[in-house]
Amino acid sequence: MGYTLAIVGCGVMGQALLSAIYNAPKASEEAAKYYPSKIIACNDTAASAELVENLVSGLKPSPNGIEIEIAIDDNERATGEAKVIILGLKPFVVEPVLSQIPNSDGSKLLISLAAGITVGQLNQHYKKVSRVMTNTPAKFGYGTAVVSHSESVESEEKALVSELVSQVGTCLELPEKNMDAATALVGSGPAFVLLMIESMMEAGLKMGIPLKESRQCALKVLEGTAKMVEITGQAPGALKHQVCTPGGTTIAGLCVMEDKGVKSGIIRGIEEAARVSKELGQKK
């Protein structure tokens, strides 16, 4: 340990990473070098900083001895002190903020959470860039994060990013060309799954099952099915056919869903989200 980590734009996802890194279990001797001794949480308004203060006030001492400093409208000083910078900004403010925090010696590592902003765009300001897309379940330690690195990021720095980001859930590495698709699948994915949960709940309610029990059934079916796919390693289609009895209820329901375009609607929705992600990076 020993370096300073600055989180510029410590909003929802920035706070998720802040608390996850701060609360990470005591690191092994080998992994300890990946953890900061200090985190500076930077926001541009007192109201935003107050939200971070409320979060920090409820934290117990860090198992890895990490300290937290909260800064308001002080990005240049905070990033100047930092070795690693996490950018938790909205896409439209990335360019003006990066213009204010120059990286003169090229040694700092920039980890960007901004949707649609490419590694190439970030490389105009920082040589070493890791682009990360995660999702809201990260707030509870069940997130999925997809990472893409610029060519200048060294293996030890990749390991650092993986160690820090994996504290909010599963961390996968993909090429930059897949990041807009990952933004749709991973970043927007929880909303699509929530739509499915909501639909199942309301179906149960419509058929007379109380809301509380409908909710529990929908949640546990989704949870159990995901575990079944993970544990068996089988294709979802193969497992789906195992549930279908000839002439039975399941195949009848699936046929109606196919008629209504459920599967194609999900695919097209994810494709559209990916298209918008790409557009976000092109807007000035």
Query: Contact, 128 vs 150, CB < 8 A?
Result: yes
Task: Tell me whether residue 75 is annotated as binding.
Answer: yes
Q: What is the DSSP letter of 28?
A: P
Answer yes or no: are the C-beta atoms of 67 and 38 closer than 8 Å.
Answer: yes
- Print burial letters for 192-209: b (CB count within 10 Å at least 16), e (below 16): eeeeeeeebbeebeeeeb
Termini Cα distance of the chain: 38
Polymer length in residues for the chain: 284
Question: How far apart, in whole angstroms, are the C-alpha atoms of residue 218 and residue 223?
Answer: 9
Distance, CA of 212 to CA of 205 (rounded, Å): 9
What residues form the annotated binding site?
A: 75
What residues form the annotated binding site for NADPH?
A: 75
